[in-house]
Amino acid sequence: MERKRAELIADELESLIFQGHYKDGARLDEVQLAEKFEVSRTPIREALQRLSLSGLVEQIPRRGVFVRQPGPVELLEMFEVMAELEAASARLAATRITDEALAELHAANARCEEAVAAQDYDGYYQENAQFHAMLYRQSGNSFLEQECLRLYRRLQPFRRVQLRLRGRLKQSMSEHKMVVAALEEGDGAKAADVIRTHVAVQGEKFHHLMASLKQVAE
């Protein structure tokens, strides 16, 4: 129960940060947050730890926890690395993925489609996260899997917000299907290319992200 509550609080704080309720550099006080969410300080600490992994906040010893928004260059560099790590996962998975895992990816895509039809951004993001986690696992490389998961957690709030760009849900869904088709064909190069494009933040997606961060800073 405490773990689930901490996750819900982390999601709410993430939204409040993006909505500008907490500006860049603002201190997040555990006591005040515990009162706000009517919980003990334990789930607050866990929520802040989760946000720290994503890079949205910075924990400074003996000073506290502060909101931290990455600059455009840092954010672009992280997405470049994420795209290449996922491309490597897809390339390896093309020759290692099991029939059972392919069936699970199809099932995840079906749930994603339901979320697209309902314009359920949060629901889509949750199923999307499962899709990517399965892809990392099927690379058959545990070190690569852990590195992907680590960076995915750090980029989580930014990957979530870019899904709200007009038409992005349907585009993302189409790219998911192309990835699975390439995996079924055993075409590692194609799977890598598609997932690289899927993850990379370029053009309109990057401008949308930067506009979101700018709104928070103002």
pLDDT at residue 210, as a whole number: 64
Do residues 108 and 130 touch, judged by C-beta distance below 8 A?
yes
Do residues 91 and 189 touch, judged by C-beta distance below 8 A?
yes
Q: Which residue has the tokens 């003990």?
A: 40
pLDDT at residue 181, as a whole number: 97
pLDDT at residue 37, as a whole number: 93
Q: Which residue has the tokens 């773990």?
A: 3
Q: Which residues contact 31 (CB under 8 A, 6 or more apart)?
A: 41
Q: Could you give the CA distance from residue 138 to residue 99 in angstroms, rounded to a whole number?
A: 11
Q: Could you give the CA distance from residue 65 to residue 25 in angstroms, rounded to a whole number?
A: 9
Q: Are strands 57-60 and 64-67 parallel, antiparallel or unpaired?
A: antiparallel
pLDDT at residue 208, as a whole number: 65
Task: Tell me the whole-structure pTM to 2 decimals.
Answer: 0.72
Q: What are residue 60's DSSP bridge partners?
A: 64
**3-state SS string for 131-162:** HHHHHHHCCCCHHHHHHHHHHHHHHHHHHHHH
* Average pLDDT, 10 consecutive residues per value, the chain (218 residues): 78 79 88 93 92 85 87 83 96 96 95 91 88 96 94 80 74 92 97 92 61 54
